[in-house]
Chains A and B, each alone.
Chain A
């Protein structure tokens, strides 16, 4: 069964450093998303992406964040200058975009630890 994959599974970085989190969405999906979950808190939407453009972003997704689809399979989230409060699980998701409301399928996540 096709699934969303993410690398690395765990990333440790120093405050102020740049990190890139990588995702390979399900191959026939057209919409891509990033969510994050701070330990013990809700899963929160960051951004959605379609046709090489951001379609929606949350207040959390400020100028420190960017997303890119550098090739036909990868989808990345870059945090330019990490802060302690960026420590969280980051989940990539993808969906087909068909139907009135389509289902988002999530990857296993990347645990980001900022020291």
Chain B
């Protein structure tokens, strides 16, 4: 059974105070890892896909990295609008391409204050 663990559960930052969120996983044969952002009462919003260890992706103040055991979401100089829950998820590859179940972590609830 795939397992995804995220830490910390909650993180409070001052505006401009950089930090990292962690996602560790136990899967049989990682084929990719997804990061999503979720605002309260909303659906997960896609941020990044990472396919292999050593890969990095960036979008504005966010940078995602992947190793063989974990992924990090680095937030540089965050702003209040970055406040959200950040979810990571891994696919269980029953089929090539689509139709694959995602296993999500519980998320890190980020609050950025002025």
A55–B99 contact, CB under 8 A? Answer: yes
Interface string of A37-53 (1 = CB under 8 A from B): 00001111100111000
- Chain B contacts with A in 56-114, Cβ cutoff 8 A: 87, 89, 91, 93-107
Q: Which residue of B lies closest to A109 (CB)?
A: B43
A48–B44 contact, CB under 8 A? Answer: no
- CB neighbours of B105 from chain A (8 A): 42
CB distance from A58 to the nearest CB of B (A): 7
- Complex CA gap A111/B104 in Å reads 19
Sorting the interface of chain B by its residue count into under 10, 10 to 19, 20 to 34 or 35 or more gives 20 to 34
Q: Which residue of A lies closest to B90 (CB)?
A: A101
- CB neighbours of A104 from chain B (8 A): 34, 46, 102
Checking B31, B42, B87, B101 against A48 with a beta-carbon cut-off of 8 angstroms, the contacting residue is: B101
| A/B pair count, beta carbons within 8 Å | 80
- Chain A contacts with B in 93-115, Cβ cutoff 8 A: 95-109, 111
B43–A91 contact, CB under 8 A? Answer: yes
Q: Does A30 contact B (CB under 8 A)?
A: yes
B residues adjacent to A (C-beta < 8 A): 31-32, 34, 36, 41-46, 49, 51, 87, 89, 91, 93-107
Known: A91-B44, A95-B98. 11 other contacts (CB 8 A): A31-B98, A43-B44, A43-B89, A50-B99, A55-B94, A56-B101, A100-B32, A103-B49, A104-B46, A107-B43, A108-B43
Q: Which 6 A-B pairs have the closest CB atoms?
A: A97-B98, A31-B98, A106-B43, A101-B32, A55-B99, A45-B101
